[in-house]
Amino acid sequence: MRGLFCILSLFVTFNLLGKEINVAYPISPVLQLIVMKNKGLLEKEFAKDGIKIKFHAINNGLKQAQAVAAGKVDLCTGINTTSIIIAAGQNIKLNIIRALCNPTGTLALMTTNPNIKSVKDLNGKTIVGPSGAMLQQLLLEALQMKNMTTKDINYIPTSLTNAYNTMFAGKVDAALLGMTEMIKAKNRGARVLATPKGLMRPKLVVAVSESFAQNHPDWVKRYIKVQDEAMEFIKNHKREALQLVAEDQGISYKDAEWLYNNTNFINTLNKDDIKSLRKDIDFLYQQKLIPRKVNILSKGAGIEIAFENFEKDQISLCAVNHN
């Protein structure tokens, strides 16, 4: 019995030492993540070392960061930089290890109300959408452009799915939608009031906990390799990949192809992305979504090794407080 107890203790200790990677996976993922998950690429990569992958469905970026802070998640496969900035304001440190896309064309403020022709018409109206994320920033940017604030509207935070359903149930006047929900809404006749174009530069990235980046730099590199494999699969087997996306998200092949053409995939954050991050920080501070100006740009993040062809204007990132 004592021998069995020792074996079980060793097994528990073995798992606690990092033989399982907890991965936050958004409910509305971008294309390469869909391929990666449905093809089991991540599991295959780490299975040879006995490392298990456990997926957690978390769509909201800030909730992903909070799950990291709570020790429930090691890696966020798709998190927006707005959420990372807000998380930094809550003393949650994240290391960005890879970029995913600049989804300027696949995010929108939409309405089904025929009397609402522009953002200005939202005065006194009810709008729903995610909080602590780039879609909320899109709303704030669109309102500011019309010399309006959240005091001029009734904003109700909710998930993307609920935002979509609530708008089509006629219970609200407008909704913030992204990617799949945006496509479905357009197909049902909803109209776009605003997109990030001309307002902000959205950035979707992959991020890990600070301890994960420091303790498992090899795992970081292997994750990046898997994501690159997924993107390569999409390029070389486009029809199969897009059919997989269509089935996964419940959309047509044509809509999956539209996503592919409008997502604007990237691997690293370039000079324009870095400049926009600084603007985002100033804006979110001005909007009181962060209690102080934070700095998520740090060359000392300890994961530069993950980028083999690192350019001077592409730096590793770490969410840290501004001194």
**Structural domain contains residue 238:** yes
Q: Which regions in the chain score pLDDT beneath 50? A: 1-16, 18, 300-323
**Structural domain contains residue 279:** yes
**Is there a single domain that holds both residue 123 and residue 68?**
no
* CB neighbour list of residue 215: distance below 8 Å, 6 or more residues apart: 18
**Is there a single domain that holds both residue 222 and residue 314?**
yes
pLDDT tens figures, 203-229: 999 999 988 998 999 999 999 999 999
Distances (CA, A) of 10 to 3, 7, 14, 84, 212: 11, 5, 6, 36, 22
* pLDDT score recorded for residue 116: 97
What is the enclosing helix (H) or strand (E) of 242? helix 238-249
The range of the structural domain enclosing residue 35 comes to 17-102+203-320
Domain count, the chain: 2
* CB neighbour list of residue 312: distance below 8 Å, 6 or more residues apart: none
Domain boundary among 194, 229, 247: 194
**Is there a single domain that holds both residue 156 and residue 245?**
no
* pLDDT score recorded for residue 4: 44
Domain boundary among 177, 194, 211: 194
**Is there a single domain that holds both residue 139 and residue 53?**
no
CA proximity to 137, closest of 191, 195, 183, 189: 195
* CB neighbour list of residue 323: distance below 8 Å, 6 or more residues apart: 295
Beta bridge partners of 176: 109
**Structural domain contains residue 289:** yes
Domain boundary among 146, 166, 194: 194
The type of residue at 177 is L
Enter the pTM of the model: 0.86
**Is there a single domain that holds both residue 86 and residue 22?**
yes
**Structural domain contains residue 2:** no
pLDDT tens figures, 248-295: 999 999 999 999 999 999 988 888 999 999 999 999 999 999 999 887
CA distance 27 to 61: 11
CATH code (residue 235): 3.40.190.10
* Strand pairing report for 317-320 and 295-297: antiparallel
